[in-house]
Amino acid sequence: MTNVLRWRHRISLPDGTVTPGIQDSPALLKRLHLPEDLSGKTVLDIGCSDGFYSFECERRGASRVLAVDNYSSPLIDSPSGFQRAHTLLCSKVEFRQADLFSLNPDEDGCFDIVLFLGVLYHLRHPLLGIEHIASLCREKLILETRLDSPFGLWGALKRRLLGPDNRSPSMRFCEGAQVNSDPTTWWTPTAQCVKAMLRSCGFCSVKQVDKQGWRGIFHGDSPRCGSDVLDLVQSLGSQRVALAYKKETGRSLEEKEVVETLREVSIPQFAAIKQRAFELNG
């Protein structure tokens, strides 16, 4: 391990040693609510760093794992940690040193599960990033990020007095090295903002599954999960949603078919149809 200057993840190796990562990766893994059995699933790990979560998905039976990182952060020592662990683990995880936006669903495919851990605040255009992730995700997104308080210390007092409904879907721009002393960070959103962005990009059953300090973990699923499709039809009406579907896809749809049809569309398609429906005159 001497050829790796700075390990980020703590990875258990076959000889019983553990890499000296600065992140307690096994502890975060327990909080992710990652399915125990990933047999037959495909996984995309965006911002893989040393690859702990990629290798864990492989261990849990994933049929394909693609690990991606552009290593732009000065806090990570290039791909050397990943490559070393990959060799020692005799792993078959695919690796690509690339930017999120260089991934193409037509060329790289869509993935059942996408991991997006500690990356959101590195994006200059976070909503565009989540929208692009939606085009790569088939079933579930697991997102972990640094969070921001909507009102600082005063907000904490107001939330204690008035309850959680006072939280705001806002995002703070962090010029310079304001997050983790890393100059490649730009934004800290509130939890409400993260959930709103995920919903706007078509993710359903969006929820925060864990919070520890200033960091939170969120899940977003495909339209076939949860009540998002039914809620949309009930709130706007099946006729209006059917018209939005036709305008977006060019195909007519019987009102009685709306719910079941929308449950089978892709995550980006659901976002587009939902937005069309909102824009139509009621």
Under 8 Å between Cβ of 244 and 276? yes
The answer as to whether 13 is a domain residue is no
Q: What is the pTM of this model?
A: 0.92
Q: Answer yes or no: do 172 and 263 share one domain.
A: no
* Distance separating alpha carbons of residues 169 and 206, to the nearest angstrom: 14
Tokens linked to 40: 């037959």
By residue range, what is the domain housing residue 238?
A: 228-279
Q: Answer yes or no: do 239 and 138 share one domain.
A: no
Q: End of a domain among 203, 221, 239? A: 221
DSSP string covering the chain: -TT-S---B--B-TTS-B---SB-HHHHHHHHT--S--TT-EEEEET-TT-HHHHHHHHTT-SEEEEEE---STTS-TTHHHHHHHHHTT---EEEE--GGG--HHHH--EEEEEEES-GGG-SSHHHHHHHHHHHEEEEEEEEEE---SSHHHHHHHHHHH-GGG----EEE--SS-BTTBTT--EEE-HHHHHHHHHHTT-EEEEEEEEETTEEEEEEE-TTSSSHHHHHHHHH-HHHHHHHHHHHHS----GGGHHHHHTTS-HHHHHHHHHHHHHS--
**pLDDT tens, N- to C-terminus, the chain (282 residues):** 557 878 999 999 999 999 999 999 999 999 999 999 999 999 999 999 999 999 999 999 999 999 999 998 887 778 999 999 999 999 999 999 999 999 999 999 999 999 999 999 999 999 999 999 999 999 999 999 999 875 555 555 555 555 554 467 888 888 776 677 788 889 999 999 999 999 999 999 999 999 998 899 999 999 999 999 999 999 999 999 999 999 999 999 999 999 999 999 999 999 999 999 999 975
Q: Answer yes or no: do 202 and 234 share one domain.
A: no
Q: Answer yes or no: do 177 and 47 share one domain.
A: yes
Q: Answer yes or no: do 217 and 235 share one domain.
A: no
Q: Answer yes or no: do 272 and 151 share one domain.
A: no
Q: Answer yes or no: do 34 and 163 share one domain.
A: yes
The answer as to whether 242 is a domain residue is yes
The answer as to whether 59 is a domain residue is yes
The answer as to whether 10 is a domain residue is no
Q: Answer yes or no: do 50 and 129 share one domain.
A: yes
Q: Answer yes or no: do 112 and 246 share one domain.
A: no
The answer as to whether 73 is a domain residue is yes
Q: End of a domain among 221, 239, 260? A: 221
Q: Answer yes or no: do 63 and 202 share one domain.
A: yes
Tokens linked to 79: 């791909």
Q: Answer yes or no: do 29 and 154 share one domain.
A: yes
> Where residue 158 sits, what CATH number does that domain have?
3.40.50.150
The answer as to whether 199 is a domain residue is yes
Q: Answer yes or no: do 236 and 172 share one domain.
A: no
Count CB neighbours of 226 within 10 A: 17
